[in-house]
Amino acid sequence: MKKYVDEDLAGAEFRECNLNDTRLIGVVMHDAVIDGLVSNLVVNGVEVMEYVEAELDRRHPVRRLIRSDDVADVRRGWRQLRTDWAATVARMRQSPGIEHESVNDEWSAAQTLRHLVFVHDSWFRRCCLGSTDLFTPMGLGIESVPGREEQGLDPSVEPTLDEVLAIRDEQAAELERWLDAVTAEQLQESAPVPDNDRWPPYARGRSVRQCLGTVLGEEFEHHQFCVRDLDLIERSGAASDE
């Protein structure tokens, strides 16, 4: 275990780090930001994640819908996610080129949409439908995905926003048709993940509902990230114009 005592870590950034069982004792922490998969977070003796999750559900009721085991709720949640993304795309079109800008080493809006193309191919087509097809070339996988080119991804492509959205529309229609037909019983069945080494290898043993939950969760979370970064870009542009 690494131990830091009397260290000045002001302005430090921890990205894609495993901080399980981390203890911060006697620390000074002002204006800090935590983004990630967080549970059982105790601050000054108070477990705070229950409050955080409840506040997120209050701000974004769609979270409850996409977690539900009621198929009707899931369908409503998916439609709401699509509506939210449509509004954000319309916002991008008002500032051509903004979809390719990035802040704080995060993905641009266009890259975020390309990542969701990959999520659909891997977590929906492969895990919920049992597809063995190669992934869409423009899809953008995270760095930890091994053999990305062997799985069909082409890191050299630079699609336009319209090209990405065309693929997204096709994928959305596919998912919606499936959701309209799937039953609650089918959602609880084991995911038909093909027996090969494509991403994600750890999906075997999960239910169809769990794999679908990953798709919907990624759609929600990445939309939040995208809106956050568009806000930052626009505020930065407004400040530079003053």
Cα angle 64-69-71, degrees, rounded to a multiple of 5: 95
Beta strands 42-43 and 46-47, pairing class: antiparallel
Which residues of the chain fall below pLDDT 50? Answer: none
User: d(Cα 106, Cα 94) in Å, to the nearest integer?
Assistant: 21
User: d(Cα 123, Cα 178) in Å, to the nearest integer?
Assistant: 14
Decide: helix, strand or coil at residue 39: coil
Structural domain contains residue 76:
yes
Decide: helix, strand or coil at residue 34: coil
CB 88 within 8 A of CB 225: no
Structural domain contains residue 22:
no
Percent of residues, the chain, with pLDDT higher than 70: 98
The domain tally of the chain equals: 1
Structural domain contains residue 14:
no
Q: What is the pTM of this model?
A: 0.91
Q: What is the pLDDT of residues 143-164, one digit of tens each?
A: 888 888 999 999 899 999 999 9
Structural domain contains residue 30:
no
Q: What is the residue range of 203's domain?
A: 66-241
Structural domain contains residue 31:
no
**C-alpha 127: how far from its chain's center?**
17
CATH label of the domain that carries residue 151? 1.20.120.450
pLDDT of 145 reads 85
Q: What is the DSSP letter of 192?
A: -
Q: How far is CA 35 from CA 94, 112, 141, 186, 221, in A?
A: 28, 16, 20, 33, 10
User: d(Cα 101, Cα 110) in Å, to the nearest integer?
Assistant: 9
Q: What is the pLDDT of residues 178-200, one digit of tens each?
A: 999 999 999 999 999 999 888 99
pLDDT of 81 reads 98
pLDDT of 36 reads 85
